[in-house]
Amino acid sequence: MHMQPKLLTIAISLISAGTLSQTHAQGYGVNEQSVSSMGAAYAGRGAHIQDASIIYGNPAGLTQLNSAQISQNVTFVKAYSDINNASGTNVLGQVSQGTNDGDFVPEVVLGSSYAALPLNQYVDGLSAGIGFYVPFGIASNYEGSFQGSVFGDKTKVKVLTLQPTVAYKINPQISVGIGATINKMEGEINQSLTGGADRSGLEGDDFSGGYNIGFLFTPNNQTNVGLTYHSHVEFKLKDTAYINDLNPSALLSSKTAQDLLASKGVSAAMLSGLNNLDLRSHDASLKVTTPESAELSISYQATPALTLLGSATWTRWSRLGVLSPETGFNANLLLTQNTQLATLLGQLASAGKLSPQEIAGIKQMVDAQLGGNHEEVLNFKDNWMFNVGAEYTLNPQWKVRTGYAYDQTPVDTASRTVRLPLGNRNIVSLGATYKATQNTSIDAGYMYIFENDARINQVKGASTYSATYQNSAHTLGLQINHKF
């Protein structure tokens, strides 16, 4: 019992120091919660209990840890994407110009922290723990001259999760566990309105709760079967919506507006002479739901040295549906924040060139452009990931492991976008555990991820963009585990 305050102090310090970012992910789910599981391509991660990171893989697995312990990991991800056969048209239906460099996914670092504590001295079979990890995240940022910028430029989504957990061993064969999740989502998305240098987007955050449930069945000394359920979580991001560097003529591009202004002696040259516009709205919001998933895992000790591992995971990506942001943009807000444009309209009104009714009509047209339908239909479909792996004990100090996983894409060609240009994914991995001391071990893992070619064909009004993406990534992870 005298170890418990020390354990709590170390756990809090590790959780506070966790390095967190986003990664190039299937859908936008992240798998990098455990480096000890990474080496086997996450096969059997809900049934093969090795350290405190089992809190994510299967909360019920806590009951198999016989001592208080902590695990801290860090993972580096470098993703690559080649864009080929690109073509498109701009908002006027003309052939669009631009670049397709393909280096839109930055290098990222992920971190997770876990602490586990058996409570048998209070209740036989009871265990508790806490984990801090990233279950969802993605980051992409195309070059400013990207040819498909009207369909998407910057995309950042990150979910941070704190999971206090309890588990109970009902009998030697069956354990159950549940973790309440406290989740924070941070996000930003933007794109060009015209295909030029302007950008329109939203950024915001929100907190929400969820839960994870796990079951562990041990029919004999060689076999573990785990079942884990991660609940969906509903967020309503309180956003700031923005427009940067927009040419004023883009807001009055309709023939009706241009004819009206021309009849009043306002030429396109007068509009082009105005400063580019900026706009901020703090009344924006966006509802986002992360999907639930269910995972079946098996661990089988075929020989004293060899353990075979397998998993199958179903994720309900279809829950995402349609994104319907509320921007809070309107013509009055535009005129309040852009005095040069407001001054021009005021001068035209004072000179009698625009009546109050005509100004109201112009505002209605601008409102329709700024506050119109900004829905983005995702058309995600539910997907499966299948994992197989093996672990081999070389000697008391070393274990090695390897694995393969196949992860179905949640989008097909008709629904694929420049934000998530995903193909079916293949993962191969290698890993090792070194037992440095009686109480301390170090895990290392490497994964190579490569996807099938992903074709994109997007259309928005007169704008189009088509291209083929070839995606791959290297992932390196390191984890330290310590028992007390």
Write out pLDDT tens, residues 379-421: 888 999 999 999 999 999 999 999 999 999 988 888 888 988 8
pTM score of the predicted model: 0.86
Give the Cα separation of 23 and 267 in Å (integer).
48
- For the chain, give the mean pLDDT: 87
For residues 159-169, b (16+ Cβ closer than 10 Å) or e, as one string? bbbbbebbbbb
Calculate mean pLDDT across residues 139-145.
89
User: With the CA atoms of 12, 40, 433 and 296 taken in that order, what torsion angle do they form, in degrees rounded to the nearest 10?
Assistant: 50
The pLDDT value recorded for residue 114 is 96
The pLDDT value recorded for residue 399 is 97
Give the Cα separation of 368 and 375 in Å (integer).
14
Burial of 408 by CB count in 10 Å (0-12 exposed, 13-18 middle, 19+ buried)?
middle
The pLDDT value recorded for residue 17 is 33
Calculate mean pLDDT across residues 71-87.
93
Nearest to 217 by CA among 260, 255, 252, 171: 171
Query: Who wins on pLDDT, 63 or 139?
Result: 63
User: Is the pLDDT at 372 greater than 70, yes or no?
Assistant: no
Q: What is the pLDDT of residues 108-119, one digit of tens each?
A: 888 999 999 999
User: Is the pLDDT at 84 greater than 70, yes or no?
Assistant: yes
Nearest to 45 by CA among 112, 127, 118, 123: 112
Q: Which of 104-108, 113-117, 178-182, 214-218 has the weakest average pLDDT? A: 104-108
Residue 234: other Cβ atoms inside 10 A: 15
Which residues sit opposite 207 in a β-bridge? 184
Give the Cα separation of 192 and 186 in Å (integer).
21
Which residues sit opposite 230 in a β-bridge? 212, 293
Give the Cα separation of 301 and 473 in Å (integer).
31
The pLDDT value recorded for residue 92 is 76
Confidence of residue 263 (pLDDT cuts 50, 70, 90): confident
Residues whose CB is less than 8 angstroms from the CB of residue 2 and which lie 6 or more positions away in sequence, other chains included = none
Q: Which of 170-179, 243-252, 289-298, 338-347 has the weakest average pLDDT? A: 243-252
User: Is the pLDDT at 348 greater than 90, yes or no?
Assistant: no
Q: Which of 177-186, 226-235, 329-338 has the weakest average pLDDT? A: 329-338
The pLDDT value recorded for residue 472 is 92
Q: What is the pLDDT of residues 430-467, one digit of tens each?
A: 999 999 999 999 999 999 999 999 999 999 888 899 99
The pLDDT value recorded for residue 374 is 67
Query: Who wins on pLDDT, 279 or 259?
Result: 279
User: Is the pLDDT at 172 greater than 60, yes or no?
Assistant: yes
Give me the helices (H) in 193-237, please: none
Query: Who wins on pLDDT, 226 or 198?
Result: 226
Calculate mean pLDDT across residues 239-262.
76
Contact 28, 157 (CB under 8 A): yes
Which residues sit opposite 209 in a β-bridge? 182
Which residues sit opposite 112 in a β-bridge? 73
User: Is the pLDDT at 159 greater than 80, yes or no?
Assistant: yes
Beta strand 306-315 with 383-393 is antiparallel
User: Is the pLDDT at 31 greater than 90, yes or no?
Assistant: no
Query: Who wins on pLDDT, 8 or 149?
Result: 149
The two structure tokens encoding residue 325: 């942001």
